[in-house]
Structure 1
Amino acid sequence: MGDAEDRGSSSSEARDAAATQLAAARSGDGDAFGRLVGPLRDELRVHCYRMLGSVHDAEDAVQETLDRAWRSLERFDGHGSIRPWLYKIATNRSLTIIERRGRRELPTDLSPGGAPLTETAWLEPYPVRLMDWTARLSPEARIVARESVELAFVAALQHLSASQRAVLLLRDVLGYTAGEVADVLDTTVAAVNSALQRARKVIGRLRPEASQQQTLQTLGDTEQRKVAQRYVTAWEAGDVDAIVAMLTKDARYSMPPLTRWYAGPVAVRGFLVEVVLRHRWRFVPTWANGQLAFGTYLWSDERGAYVPAGLDVLTLHGRQVAEVVSFLDADFPTFGLPAQLWEEIFLGAR
């Protein structure tokens, strides 16, 4: 049997299995419902994250989506995949959350006269392990999926109205037609096209020309490792000049939830002199938002170990660092990072 026939057979078997699970779920079989929607949970979460800028809010939105779908399963007509129906529910749950909570920010996005800092909600990083589902996508679709969670893109989305955000994601990231988006949002095709035009204009102004996926592909794995090693070595050696030498001329450094941020090598250097030399540091490479990141640890005499200081997510321009966003409240285990490090680990490895 040829490859095309194999794929056709597999697709037919998958549809038959889904139909069987749907019938069982409609009869009250919760396990069948779990098998039906389980493969879609991760991609629904990342869709809600793009909308909301928060992993925690996204998880809540997905849970509410699946609860509502379970209670309303009789409303699904059963024709075709259940995926578009779940996306419709998830999108509308996200819109409701946005209305209730507002947009999320990075320190570099704060504008004079904006919301009081006590009411500011901060953009959150997204763990790469929650992107494992992209492995089943085509290489082109995988790149689009990872580009769509990059910090610059998610931060730019927050500057759109809730409806514009939904339209842009459904059309440009998920590939829905204007008619399908109109159905999801209970609006007209003309309204969808108008919102899309305005959203693309804003995103085009705020988003960098080159995505981090393009940068990383251009660098290749070997050069990525070299950049990461240079950065780690400079920090752990307390070499401020070496760190600054890696920065672009317009580099930015921020540390949410702190509101102060630094722009340009001179300003960043002034900050680094205070921070780098005051502590002993250890850095552990990881990935967040499809970008190179590091779990940063500083030495605690009280605990006799290196303790988490922040998750540094880097934006690269070639081999240089254009931006560092250090998420001080990041949950390290979520990113596959240890809760603390001990001196003897490093003494034995060096």
Structure 2
Amino acid sequence: MADELRPELHRYCARLMGSVIEGEDVVQDTLVRAFVALPDLQEAPPLRAWLFRIAHNRALDLLRSRAARKAEPIDAASDVADSASPDPVEMLMRREAVNTAVSRFAELPTLQRSVVILKDVLDESLIEIAGLLDLTVDAVKGHLARGRARLRQINEQAGPPPEARPASAAVTRYAELFNQRDWDSLRALLADDVKLNQSSHPPRIGRADAGLFFTIYAKSEGVWLAPAWLEGREVIAVFEDRADPKPSYMMWLEWRDGRISFIRDYRHVRYVAADAELVLAPEAKPTDDRAAH
């Protein structure tokens, strides 16, 4: 059941953190904390609300730690529709929030951010939001009205999307070796203490164990890698079919002294890529034969 909630938790956490990568870190941390806490509970809580509360509190801890939280006054509540059949203006506001780039939510004060995401992206009721955030319904309405107005300003003032940046030699080489299925050369790039993280799977540590990563991928003939950028971080887009217009998921690497010290593979949490503002490196853009469908 918890795994079924992961995509929804990520939609919330990614926007709260302003990053699909950090959002998934919060989701993983939330599930670990819930698993550890569960045996000490007198009775099992409603799972969805409980996990969202843990995720919300964990995200706030991280935001506070980097001094990203902003103080904000609570205006008097505005009239906000909360019915099963919202009016056209209400629907327009929700659609705008859903289509807003994940990173832009970080420009909202935290409570406004939480309320807008819960209401307009996840379609929670005002009463449910009030319970989750320990607010009155009127306070939720106030934060929602202010957040919606501010989000519209942010979208109107947003600049053009970032231009594609050239890939580094190291990532380019990694993608080339992978696409050539040169698994031995890829294993040779691994540091002795390399760590492989595949989300819900146990981490693999050490060259021998992490090297099995390539043994598994050797069975996936259609997988194709392309250097890309996401949230200022160099990543690798993973296409399961070279003709696909968008990558199926992504991975990213860390390097130390010319060797790979860390691999993060999002194969088993593909929902992370759904909201990712990923830009392929110029030389990695599909050629005519890749885009021919």
| Structure with the greater alpha carbon radius of gyration | 1
Higher RCO by CA contacts (8 Å cutoff, separation 6 or greater): 2
- TM-score, normalised to structure 2's length? 0.47
